[in-house]
Amino acid sequence: MPRSLWNGTIAFGLVRVPVKLHTATESKSISFRERHLSDGAAIEHRRVCVAEDREVPYSEIVKGFEVSSGSYVMLTKEEIAAAEGPEARVIEVEHFVDGQEIDPAYYERAYYLSPGQLGDDAYRTLHSALKTSGKVGIGRFLFHGKAHLAAMRALEEVIVLHTMRFADEFVDPRELEIAIADKQPSKLEIDAARLLIDQLVSSFEPDAYENTYRAAVLGVIEQKARGEKIEVPESQQQTGEGELLSALKASLEESHVRKRRRPAGGTSRSGGKAPRSSGGTPRSSGSDQPSSKAAIHARRRTRGEG
Amino acid sequence: MARPLWSGSLSFGLVNVPVVLYSSVRDRGVHFSQLHESDGSPIQTRRVCALEEREVPWNEIVKGYEMEDGSWILLSDEDLAAAAPRKSHTIDIEAFVQEREIDPIYLDRPYLLVPENESAARAYALLGEAMGNSGRVALGRFVMRAKEHLVSIRPRGELLTLTTMRFHDEVRSSADVAAEIDAAAVPGREQIENAIAMIAELEVPFEPAGYRDEHRAHLQRLIKRKQKGQKISVASAPPKPKPKPEATPTAPDLMGALEQSLARIRGESTEAGKKKAKKTRATPPAGRPSRSSAKRSS
């Protein structure tokens, strides 16, 4: 039975749905530790009082807010709690929206909700209503000391909650320096690019895209463990402006040849030779974890994350 | 001014476009520093070699991977780049799919993809132009900061935005959670219909600018008061916008709650919006989202 991260209530009109929050995602990246280059020793993080130049225990540390350079306002835990108010543990559904209107950039982290105590009937009612209407509930709640905008929707048999970004967290692209083309692409180029897109259209099948890097890194780790030298191949150059159309045409020809053989998710052009020789063939599902010490260890370790 | 997080090329067929990647979002949260309680001076985190007992600079720190026998393999950035030389420098577009086919559960972080220089700008514009408003996004993979990312790229105005995505094995199955739901608790037809009616009453267009982080504002006000030397008492703290009654130990009357809610919402919406006779849109509560273009900023 999955462990829950948070217990609370979805409030929707006068209806209360007790829920438990579970993580829906987990990172499978290889995790590293900081080590000292010269002696391989562990790196420890020590909290040091700048004035006294000595390490201080956690119990002597409080929170401060830097109001101007070097000047801090000190806040106690109680004061921060006071600002937060009583922890309501309620996700107040304010509106329902059409999920198609939500720009994907707003979605942050995904969680699964399960019914809390005596909540099965209410949970299933809300789930059915969300599923039938296809709508997404929008609300706000406090979680981990932070206010989150949340979107709730039905997925399969459960309700998914996404924490969402607030609108003012987005960077205004006008703040960036963006190079502008002095000449717009020609109709001929656009038509060729569209043809190329058509060649590459497929349906989204998440498991067609494996993380091949994990296996490649484990391969490098094994090479290093055997004392082999690691070499970095060179990279490629950009397509010149004048070559755009010919590059598109050549791509179209190439893609006609390749298309039937390798659907989306192929690794035909990536990787070079380094990873495969040591990491196994990245595509086949069982082999991204070579049968070796490092791989077994990685499996053990990645499972613990999230 | 933001700095790019990655630079490399976006590869589409045999077309390579040099690009740089910026985060689309910046953390607007209130950030606290650690202070030493007795003297109020800042706390510094020092990285210390456990063997030599001395602080070490960044350039002496590498990534370590622990082998099963307890030995450590040290990896430099070059070693990691060698694991995937092409992917470390190139986002290869592998396919185009309909955006609506991608479940939001796969989405991770949003970025802006920008042409690196003027000569790259035309090929960059070409990709956006060719994708147009087909509803399609480009899918690709690349390596950034020693991690491989599945990404989707979509045009937004003149720009291309990139969203990192989770690999399929990083999304947990919902089956374990579904197994916790009492299969016997089948809600009545009427109950579900009332809930659907409530959803319809509360439906509005998604206007993200209307939802503000009030918690952040509370903290900022608190800091201002403290800065002026005012004392913060727990009692005088601003109350939560809507304090809620606690959960009752017995199963509540769900049908009654639904009916009352509906009556209340409908009463309110007929008073406030008689003009919208046909599809009764619930009048959004105070702080109604103002029309603002979410699309522009993402």
Whether residue B95 contacts residue A265, with contact meaning beta carbons closer than 8 Å, is answered with yes
What is the pTM (predicted TM-score) of this model? Answer: 0.81
Minimal CA separation from A162 to chain B, in Å: 8
Contact A141, A92 (CB under 8 A): yes
Choose the final residue of a domain: A119, A141, A169.
A169
How far is Cα B210 from Cα B203, in angstroms, rounded to an integer? 14
- CB-based contact B218 A83, cutoff 8 Å: yes
Distance between CA atoms of residues B212 and A140, nearest Å: 9
d(CA B107, CA A108): 7
Give the separation between CA B283 and CA B269, rounded to whole angstroms.
Answer: 6
Q: Is B39 on the interface with A (CB under 8 A)?
A: yes
The predicted pLDDT at position A103 comes to: 92
pLDDT tens digits along A202-247: 999 999 998 989 999 999 999 988 988 887 766 556 666 668 888 8
* Contacts with A58 (C-beta within 8 Å, 6 or more apart), sequence order: A47
Confidence at residue B1, expressed as pLDDT on a 0 to 100 scale? 56
Residue B204 has pLDDT above 90, yes or no: yes
Chain B interface disruption, residue of A213, A278, A293, most B CBs within 10 A: A213
Confidence band for B270, pLDDT divided at 50, 70 and 90: low
Domain membership of residue A299 (yes or no) is: yes
pLDDT at A153: 97
- Please report how the helices A120-133 and B189-201 are oriented relative to each other, as an axis angle in degrees rounded to 10: 60
* Whether A161 and A279 share a structural domain: no
Average pLDDT over residues B84-113: 94
A179 belongs to a structural domain = no
Based on the domain organization, do A252 and A160 belong to the same domain? no
Any A CB within 8 A of B103 CB = yes
What is the predicted pLDDT for the residue at B175? 94
Q: Residue A146 domain-assigned? A: yes
Mutating which of B73, B153, B207, B231 best tests the A interface, going by the most A Cβ atoms within 10 A? B73
Q: Are B39 and A51 in contact (CB < 8 Å)?
A: yes
Does residue A252 fall inside a structural domain? Answer: yes
**Rounded Cα distance, B155 and A173, in Å:** 13
Q: Which domains does chain B have, with CATH numbers?
A: 6-24+82-170 (2.40.290.10)
With cut-offs at 50, 70 and 90, classify the pLDDT of residue B30.
confident
Q: What is the pLDDT of residue A81?
A: 75
CATH code for position A143? 2.40.290.10
Residue that wins the pLDDT comparison between B287 and A262: A262
Judgement on whether residues A145 and A269 belong to the same structural domain of the protein:
no
Name the closest residue on chain B to residue A202, using Cα atoms. B97
B167 C-beta neighbours (distance < 10 Å), count: 22
Nearest CA in chain A to B185: A121
Whether B199 and A130 lie within 8 Å, measured CB to CB? yes
Same domain, A154 and A254: no
For residues A15 and A150, membership in a common domain is answered with: yes
Mark whether A195 and A162 lie in a shared domain: no
Q: Which residue has the higher pLDDT, B192 or B265?
A: B192
The pLDDT of B242-271, averaged and rounded, is 72
Q: What is the pLDDT of residue A70?
A: 82
Kindly state whether residues A146 and A212 are assigned to the same domain.
Answer: no
Q: In what order do the strands lie in the sheet with A61-68?
A: A71-75, A61-68, B33-36
Q: Is residue A48 part of a domain?
A: no
Candidate from A123, A241, A264 with C-beta closest to B119? A241
Q: Do A13 and B257 touch (CB under 8 A)?
A: yes
DSSP for chain B, written as a single string: ----SEEEEEEETTEEEEEEEEESB---S--PEEEETTT-PBEEEEEEETTTTEE--GGGEEEEEE-TTS-EEEE-HHHHHHHSTTTTTEEEEEEEEEGGGS-GGGEEEEEEEEESSHHHHHHHHHHHHHHTTSSEEEEEEEEETTEEEEEEEEEETTEEEEEEE--GGGBPPSHHHHTTS-TT-PPPHHHHHHHHHHHHHTB----GGG---HHHHHHHHHHHHHHTT----STTSPPPSS--PPPPSSPP-HHHHHHHHHHHHHHHHHHH-SS--SS-PPPPPSSPPPP--HHHH-
CB proximity B225 to A under 8 Å:
no
Confidence at residue B298, expressed as pLDDT on a 0 to 100 scale: 35
- Please tell me the predicted confidence (pLDDT) of residue A130: 96
Per-residue confidence band for B253, with pLDDT thresholds at 50, 70 and 90: confident
Given a contact cutoff of 8 angstroms between Cβ atoms, the answer to whether A214 and A222 are in contact is no
Which residues in chain B are closer than 8 Å to A237, comparing Cβ atoms? 16
- Asked if residue A150 and residue A197 are part of one domain, the reply reads no
The answer to whether residue B207 scores a pLDDT higher than 90 is yes
Residue B53 at interface with chain A, using a CB cutoff of 8 Å? no
The DSSP secondary structure of chain A, one letter per residue, reads -PPPSEEEEEEETTEEEEEEEEE-B---SPP-EEEETTT-PBEEEEEEETTTTEE--GGGEEEEEEEETTEEEEE-HHHHHHHH-S---EEEEEEEEEGGGS-GGGEEEEEEEEE-TT-HHHHHHHHHHHHHH-EEEEEEEEETTEEEEEEEEEETTEEEEEEE--GGGBPPGGGS-----SSPPPHHHHHHHHHHHHHHB----GGG----HHHHHHHHHHHHHTTPPP-------PPPGGGHHHHHHHHHHHHHHHHTT--TT--TTSS-SHHHHHH--SSSGGGGS-SSHHHHHHHHHHHT--
Among candidates B102, B174, B238 on the partner chain, residue whose Cβ is nearest the Cβ of A156:
B174
Residues A149 and A283 in one domain: no
Q: Do B141 and A221 touch (CB under 8 A)?
A: no
The residues that bridge with A154 in the sheet, in sequence order, are A159
* Identity of the residue numbered A9: T
Of B298, B157, B12, residue with least CA distance to A193: B12
Domain that holds residue A298: 187-231+243-303
Are residues A130 and A274 located together in one domain of the fold?
A: no
Domain assignment present for residue A218? The answer is yes
Residues A206 and A145 in one domain: no
Nearest CB neighbour to A28, from listed B43, B170, B203: B170
| Nearest Cα residue to B246 out of A18, A125, A115 | A18
User: Stretch B233-238: mean pLDDT, rounded?
Assistant: 50
Q: Which of A13, A29, A147 sits opposite B214 (nearest CB)?
A: A147
Query: Which residue, of A126, A141, A169, is where some domain finishes?
Result: A169
Chain A interface includes B214 (CB < 8 A): yes
pLDDT score at B221 = 85
- A198 CB-near residues (< 8 Å, 6+ apart): none
Under an 8 A CB cutoff, do A97 and B205 touch?
yes
Residue B291: predicted pLDDT: 39
Which residues, other chains included, contact A138 with Cβ-Cβ below 8 Å and sequence gap of 6+?
A: A93, A94, A95, A96, A97, A149, A150, A151, A152, A164, B206, B211
Q: Is A257:A264 a contact under the CB 8 Å cutoff?
A: no
User: What distance in Å separates residue B298's CA from the closest CA in chain A?
Assistant: 6
Residue A70, domain member (yes or no): no
Interval B87-101: pLDDT, tens: 889 999 999 999 999
Averaged pLDDT, B268-284: 49
Chain A contact present for B80, CB below 8 A? yes
Domain count, chain A: 2
Residues A122, A252 within the same domain: no
State both tokens at B186: 């089948």
- Which residues, other chains included, contact B277 with Cβ-Cβ below 8 Å and sequence gap of 6+? none
Residue A266 falls within a domain, yes or no? yes
Does the structure show a pLDDT above 80 at B36?
A: yes
Share of chain B above pLDDT 70, in %: 83
Q: Supply B292's token pair.
A: 């603002």
Distance from CA of B254 to the nearest CA of A (A): 6
pLDDT of residue B251: 63
Per-residue pLDDT, B178:
94
- The answer to whether B28 touches A168, Cβ cutoff 8 Å, is yes
Mark the ranges of chain A whose per-residue pLDDT is less than 70: 1-2, 83-87, 233-242, 257-306
Residue showing tokens 């109950």 = B191
